[in-house]
Structure 1
Amino acid sequence: MSTSTGAGFVPPAPGEEVELELPGFFRLYRSGRFDRYVGLDKLPASLEPETGVVSKDVTVDLSTGVTARLYLPSLADGDSTKKLPVLVYFHGGAFCLESAASPIYHRHLNTLAFITPVLAVSVDYRLAPEHPLPVAYEDSWATLRWVFSLADPWLAEHGDPKRIFLAGDSAGGNIAHQLALRAGTRPEGEGIAIKGVALIHPYFWGSAPLGAEPTDTGLRGLMEQIWKFLCPETSGLDDRRINPLADGGRSLAELGCERVLVSVAEKDHLRHRGKAYFEKLKASGWPGEAELVETADAEHVFHLFYPETEEGREMHKALADFFSKE
């Protein structure tokens, strides 16, 4: 499958047949060409003058080329031995858009590193369709194991291995859930002790409408098309990777973490699944502590695009408070 990226949305060329399109975001042609229209800009790792947070890019796995961007806050008190909670973050973008270097994510992780403070690891997992699912899950798991190995000097010197958190928005929230389940598996999860997981507007769906979820057949058909495009090996929308509430498979009681925060937004059509996930988790027998944060009159991942609004600041504070807990 060939890939093309451009700076903006353009109409199909004459004679080109479109296989699948999410208007304004991406387009797949019958020829196999794939165009992305967002998430193309990248910012370099750097020192952020306003916050004192410094970032760097590291290669996590030489065999796959997977990288991560690390963020280290300024230790203003001069204590170079201070141990910080570690946040492993998975960006959103429907598994096929954005990167750890995207401006919205570089800004977001800088902010979280500064206000918490936390040592953040933003995972640059490989994207579909060039690398269809489950590649993103495998890249993310490899990065998590790398974090626990403390192979990087920043992690070894400043990271607290007893306070490692996972978080992600949209597709990244889906990844964070999958890794928390995997961490609860023995022997695979041996040595992976996760303090908490924050699922921010998580990308969960299913074959049948749930509660007040949209019933529009066009929307639901598009969601199914997109999922099958992202994960060609899937059995459908009740695959537990997209629908953790489906019958069968592993119980949410097996999550390998102590705390979970689920965040939803009122104007996001994914909110119903997020709330149902929270309720099912509480009823599952899982022994941890669960918290739900719901933002009124807000769209999907609003805090990434409008971080300076009152709602955006409140979201960042809720996350910082969650990552700060002992």
Structure 2
Amino acid sequence: MFVSGQVDPFHHLKILPNSDGTITRLRADPHTHPTFDPTLPIPVLTQDTTINQSNKTFARIFLPRPALHNSSTNLPLIVFFHGGGFILFSAATHFFHDACVNLAKDTNSIVVSVDYRLAPEHRLPAAYDDAVEALHWLKSKPHDWLRNHADYSNCYLMGSSAGANIAYHAALRVAAETNSDGINYLEPLKIRGMILSQPFFGATERVPSEVRLAEDPVLAPHVCDVLWDLSLPVGVDREHEYCNPRGGNGGVILERVRELGWRVLVSGCRDDPLVDHQIGLATLVAEKGVPVLTNFSPTGSHGAEVRDPLHQNRLHHLVKHFIAPPPPSIHNLSPQNSA
């Protein structure tokens, strides 16, 4: 519920609620078509391939052009999940497409951007189901670019905003079903950790950053409330584990993440109303003994790591060094003290 004087969240999100529980999306964000012609002078080639035809899910693969001419070195594999509050956008939305092009180029990695089902037509955990299904699909090396150029032993799950939430919960599912030797049902795909960019989490009680930025023009807390109302399972509140990582048994599974030797990168911006939730997530991960690297810019709003070139470059620099083999020495950092 929003109060008088606050922006109408439905108008802000450019959506209309329908009586049958669906929404009409009024946004006109352009889509970018994949380009896989190697004769074109582009730094990254892109191609779409179907994951689940019934659910209309697909993956967009981003391959750095130099990989076509270098068969001796396989590239790290980043599985990416786009943001949009679980209700908006696509792997083909122009700014997520452009961000993944830059991610593949800047980190010299193959990026697989997963297009998942959106809420409220498909409420959580549908997006988590699609994420895990995408990992099952990936393990069979379903595309020549993956078979010929991807290092399946060096895979990271990455997401932006709600996509980071999806990456986190998909990783927990994988960890819960992986044995003590790290052998799992996804072999030969071997996940090394998570990269969570401005992750979208919350709780019933407002945190100080939400109070401080209550009228944030990008993602005000009452707008987040509507996103959660549209995406969480019917009848649950924001204390549910999908929203609040301290709910449910996520903490127990994080201990399994520690045993597997996975690492976590959490990044964000101090002028994001969700930043204290993001710091809280990093704190929880560190409490469970999982190596976590945190980096929060003193400026920048929610979405800056996708749309703003300076913040995006900073993030990609972090990612490049985080995934580079051999793994860098990462220590548990206090998120409150990180840069």
TM range, normalised to the smaller chain? 0.7 to 0.9
Query: Which range moved further: 313-322 or 53-62?
Result: 313-322
SS in 1 for 2:10: strand
**What amino acid maps onto 1:300 in structure 2?**
H
- Do the aligned residues in 1 keep the contact of 2:35 with 2:46 (CA within 8 Å)? yes
1:190 counterpart residue number: 184
Residue in structure 1 matched with residue 228 of structure 2 by the alignment: 227
Quote how far apart the aligned CAs of 1:140 are. Answer: 1.0
**What is residue 285 of structure 2 aligned with on the other side?**
281
Q: Look up the match of 1:5.
A: none
Structural RMSD (CA): 2.7
Moved more, 242-251 or 133-142: 242-251
TM-score (norm 2): 0.81
Letter in 2 for 1:312: Q
Instruction: Give deviations 1:213-246, integer Å, cap 9, x for gaps.
Output: 4289996565444313212335210110111023
Shift of 1:154: 1.3
Match of 2:332 in 1: none
Work out which of the residue numbers 36, 42, 58 in structure 2 matches 1:67.
58
User: Would you say 1:314 and 2:314 are equivalent positions?
Assistant: yes
Write the distance in 1 (CA, Å) between the matches of 2:68 and 2:148.
Answer: 16
Shift, 1:265, TM fit: 0.7
Matched, 1:83 2:80: no
Compared with structure 1, are the counterparts of its residues 88 and 120 closer, same or farther at alpha carbon in structure 2 (3 Å cutoff)? same
Question: Which ranges in structure 1 are unaligned for 5 or more consecutive residues?
Answer: 1-18
Deviates more, 1:265-274 or 1:36-45: 36-45
2:16 match = 27
| Number of matched pairs | 304
Partners of 1:26 and 1:37 within 8 A in 2: yes
Aligned counterpart in structure 2 of residue 41 of structure 1, from 30, 34, 38: 30
Q: Is residue 158 of structure 2 the alignment partner of residue 167 of structure 1?
A: yes
Deviations 1:134-189 (CA, angstroms, capped at 9, x unpaired): 11111111001211221222111111111011100110000010011111112698
Distance 1:268 1:325, change over 3 A: farther
Paired residues for 1:1-326 under 5 Å: 21=10, 23-30=12-19, 32=21, 34-38=23-27, 40-47=29-36, 51-75=42-66, 78-186=69-177, 190-192=184-186, 193-214=190-211, 223-246=224-247, 249-251=250-252, 252-255=254-257, 258-286=262-290, 289-307=291-309, 309=310, 311-326=311-326
Contact 2:266 2:294 in 1 (8 A): yes
Offset of residue 32 of structure 1: 4.8
Distance, in Å, in 2 between the alignment partners of 1:127 and 1:306 is: 25
Q: If each structure's helix is expressed as a fraction of its own residues, which one has the higher value? A: 2
Q: Give the match's secondary structure for 1:214.
A: helix
Matched-pair contact (CA < 8 Å) for 1:177–1:197: yes
Amino acid at match of 2:143: D
Q: Is the 8 A contact 1:81 1:157 kept in 2?
A: no
Q: Distance in 2 between matches of 1:322 and 1:29?
A: 44
Task: String of CA shifts for 1:190-210, please: whole Å, max 9, x gaps.
Answer: 234311211100000001123
Gap change, CA 1:76 and 1:63, over 3 Å in 2: closer
Whole-Å separation in 1 of the counterparts to 2:314 and 2:210 = 26
The code of the aligned residue for 1:227 comes to W
Deviation of the 1:39 alpha carbon: 6.1
Letter in 2 for 1:276: G
Aligned-partner residue type, residue 100 of structure 1: A
Report how far residue 304 of structure 1 moved. Answer: 1.9
Q: What amino acid does structure 1 have at the position aligned with 2:300?
A: A
> Which segments of 5 or more consecutive residues in structure 2 lack a partner in the other structure?
1-7, 327-339
1:241-283, Cα deviation, whole Å (9 max, x unpaired):
1110236554332336611000121110111011111112111
Partners of 1:40 and 1:190 in 2: CA distance = 39
Aligned equivalents of 1:119 and 1:217: distance in 2?
38
Distance (Å, rounded) in 2 between the aligned partners of 1:248 and 1:115: 36
Q: Which amino acid is 1:237 matched to?
A: R
Flag the 1:205–1:47 CA change in 2: closer, same or farther, 3 A.
Answer: same
* Other-structure match for 1:11: none
